[in-house]
Every structure is written in C-alpha cells, then in structure tokens.
Amino acid sequence: MQPSVTAQPGFFARVRMTLDMIKFEHSVFALPFALTGALLAWRESGAQTAGLAAKLFWIVVAMVGARSSAMAFNRILDAELDARNPRTRMRHIPAGLLSRGFAWGFTIAGALVLAGAAAMLNRLCLELTPLALAIVWAYSFAKRYTSLSHLMLGFALGVAPAAAWIAMTGTLDPRILWLTAAVTFWTAGFDIIYACQDFDFDRSEGLYSIPARLGIGRALLVSKLLHVGMLTCLIALAVSFHAMSAGLLAAGVVALLLVYEHSLVKPHDLSRVNAAFFTVNGCVGLLFFALWSVQILFL
C-alpha cells in the first residue's frame, strides 16, 4: 500500500495564508493617518480635485505594499524565535504551512508594489523608496539589539503621514511631522502592551523589549507616557493647521479610547491584551480620520 501524500496548497491558497500570516487587515492601523496627511496636503496645496482620486489610490497601494513586505520579512526573520515561543509556534512558517521561499517572494512582491506605486506618484517618492523599505524592514532586527525597538516600529508606521504628504505635493511640510510623532508614540505605546505577553520568553531568549527590561508594571507606565506624548502631538497638529475644532475633538476621542485601552490591561491580568491591541487601536485610527476629514472637507 502506497503511503498517502499530502497535497501542497496551490498558489492562491498560499497567498491567502500569507495575508493571514501578516495580519493584512491590520493595515487599518496606519492607513487612516496616511490618508489624513494626504488630505491635509491636498487642502494646503490648493484643494484641486483633478487627479485627487488617482493619488489617493496610489497612496493606498503604496501603503499596503510597504506594510505587506515589512510584515512578511518580519515573519521570515522571526521564524526560529516563533518556533520556540509557545504563543507563536503555530504561525505559518514555523508550523510548516508556508515555506520561507514563498514568504521571500511575497516580501519582494510587496516591495515592487511599493516601488510601482511610488513611480505613479512622483519622482521624489520613487527616489525615497529604498529609504522607506529600509525603515520598515529595520524593526525586524531591532529587538535583538535595543529596547528602542518599540519606537522603531512606531516610526515605521509614523512615516506614513509624511510620505503621503510627499506623495501629494512632491515636497515635505514640517508641520506634518507632528502627526508622524503622534503615530510613532501611539504605536510604540500599544506595541509595549502587546509585548507584555512575551515577558518570560523575551527574558529567556535575551531579547530586548521594554517589558523584559523594566518588568510588566513599569512597561505599562511607559506605554501610558508614550500615549500622553501622542495626545500632546495631536494638539500641536491641530494648532499648526489652525484646525482647533475637529483637531481637539479628535484628540479628545483618542484620549478616551486610550484610557479604555489601558483599563483593559493590568500587570497581573493580560487576558484582554488582544482587545486592547486590535479592537481599540483600530477604532483610534478610523475615528481620527473621520473627524479630521470633516474638518478638511467641510469646515
């Protein structure tokens, strides 16, 4: 009797598994802030509607390509660590569901999508593509060398509004860097919360994270301080663009969501980390974009 052979999944099945592996739906975290930056640039440069839809489309494509490439690269680089971590050992590469070769192909494809979208936007975007890829890939190495890895991840998402501004205008206005700083602090804060789950593993492996270095209690305090920094930057953004009504309202809504997020997580109880990480932070970006869009388009 011949032994049974397990059929390998087809190409599109592997693509679907890769999208699941990189949590494709979490593109929602940075995308609303990128689109806010794009709309602010559009308003400040004269609010011409010609070509607006095309630019927004290519900004979204560039964002998705950059994040997809970065996340696939991260999963490749972390495969051996993931295999040793009880929380992550069933991720697609360590579990044998996806090969490293296919993940590398997806990483390169995402980078090419970013480059293609950048070329459709303007020359400066295309010229900055290697720098953008270096920024979003660098985080994957960071936790092996520095506890600033959370801020590096934050900056990888935080450059999105500034990149969108460049995509819209071909230049950079320093005022949009308030939003870059806000997203950097916000992301670093919630990444620290998420990293609390791996406190024991990170210490045993000698990895650098704020929870591993400071302990969970003090790490959560650092997360709160970073989120205070985010709110400060959002207020500065509102002042810089003379958008006090919607800007301050958006900061207030974000503040309430962050207070709720931190209420879900305690040093002795991390059972609701996923709700704090995924649900609340998804709402932060979407509501922020909705309120600023009203300001930009109608006020």
Is 88 inside any structural domain?
A: yes
In a domain, 34, yes or no: yes
Summarised one tens digit per residue, pLDDT across range 125-155 is: 999 999 999 999 999 999 899 999 999 999 9
The domain in which residue 125 lies consists of 11-298
Q: Is residue 1 part of a domain?
A: no
pLDDT digits 0-9 by tens, 202-234: 999 999 999 999 999 999 999 999 999 999 999
Amino acid at 268: H
Question: Please, are residues 29 and 63 in contact by the beta-carbon 8 Å criterion?
Answer: no
Does some domain include residue 5?
no
Q: What are 230-268's pLDDT values in tens digits?
A: 999 999 999 999 999 999 999 999 999 999 999 999 999
CATH number, domain containing residue 292: 1.10.357.140
Domain for residue 3, yes or no?
no
Nearest to 181 by CA among 119, 242, 228: 228
> What's the pTM?
0.94
Q: What 3-state DSSP class applies to 15? A: helix
For residue 223, is it within any domain?
A: yes
Residue 85 domain-assigned (yes or no): yes
Total of domains in the chain: 1
Tell whether 79 is covered by a domain.
yes
